[in-house]
Amino acid sequence: MCGRFSLTASRQEVEALLAAIIGEDFPPRYNIAPTQPILMVVAGETPPPGSNRPDRVGRLVRWGFIPAWVKDPNDFPLMFNIRSETAAEKNSFRAALHHRRGLVPASGFYEWRREGRNRAQAYWVRPRRGGLVAFAALMETWSSADGSQIDTGGILTTSANATLRPIHERMPVVIQPEDFGLWLDCKNNLPRDVAGLMRPAEPDFFEAIPVSDKVNKVSNTTPDIQDRVEEDLTAAAGKPKNGRKPEPEDGSGGQLSMF
C-alpha cells in the first residue's frame, strides 16, 4: 500500500538519479496525496546520433489511474495503487503495462499500522541509507467527451518485505537504478521481461520511523510531520484510541502543478 509519499529532493538530484530531463524546478513536498499531481519519469524520444541528451523525460500526472475506456471518472474508483501480481491480467492495466511504464521518484512513503477500527500508528518509511527511490508506476492518458486530456498514473505494489510486514501487508515496488532501462524500455521489453522486477525490496532497504498523526491531514505539509515520535504501543495491544488512517483527499485544486 502507498497512500502518501514525499519528494524533498531537488530537480537536479532527480535528474541525476533517473538520467532524465525534468524541465523545471519544484519545491520539496512532504505529504503527497492521491488526486494530486506527481512527477513520473517515462521513456522519451531517442536522441539523434552523437547527442548526450537523456532519452527520459519527466511528466506531471494525476495520482489516480484512469483507464482510457472509462467514460466518467466520477463513476470509477480512485486507483492510486495497482497490484503488480495481477496487472497483466486486468483490462484496466494491461495496455499500460505493455506500453506506458514509468518511475515515480520519492524520498520515502507513509504507512499506517492498523489495530481495530479507530486506531492507526503512522510511520515514515525511508531508505535506510538515505537518498531517493523510484517506484514502479503505470501511466494512462484519459480523454473526456469534449476532447480534453489528462495524464494519470498509479504506483505498483507488491507484498511487504520482512521489515514492513508488521506494519502493512503491501509496499510499493521499488526499481533499482541498474534496472531503470529495462523497466522503461517498453518497445523492447514485454511485461514478462520485467515481471521479475516487481518484487519486494530487500529487508534492510527501508527503515520505518513512527511519526505523529499530523500526516493524516493532507493540509499538513511541513517537514515536522516526518519527525520521530515515541511509538504508541497501545496499537499493538489493540486498545482503542482516536485516530484513523486518512482517506484520499483532493488537494490538487484541479491544477497540475508541483507548487
Q: Is 98 helix (H, G, I), strand (E, B) or coil?
A: helix
Q: Say whether 2 is catalytic.
A: yes
Extended strands (E) in 10-87: 29-32, 37-43, 56-63, 81-83
* Beta-strand relationship, 56-63 and 37-43: antiparallel
Count of beta carbons in the 10 Å neighbourhood of residue 244: 15
Could you tell me the end-to-end alpha-carbon distance of the chain, in angstroms, rounded to an integer?
25
**Rounded-to-integer distance, Cα 211 and Cα 217, Å:** 13
Q: Where are the alpha helices (DSSP H) in the chain?
A: 11-18, 94-99, 180-184, 191-194, 234-237
Q: Distance (Å, rounded) from C-alpha 252 to C-alpha 259?
A: 10
Backbone angles phi, psi at 15, to 5 degrees: -60, -40
From the list 2, 15, 115, 186, the catalytic residue is 2
Kindly name the residue from 13, 45, 111, 186 that is annotated as catalytic: 111
Q: Is 186 among the catalytic positions?
A: no
Catalytic residues: 2, 111
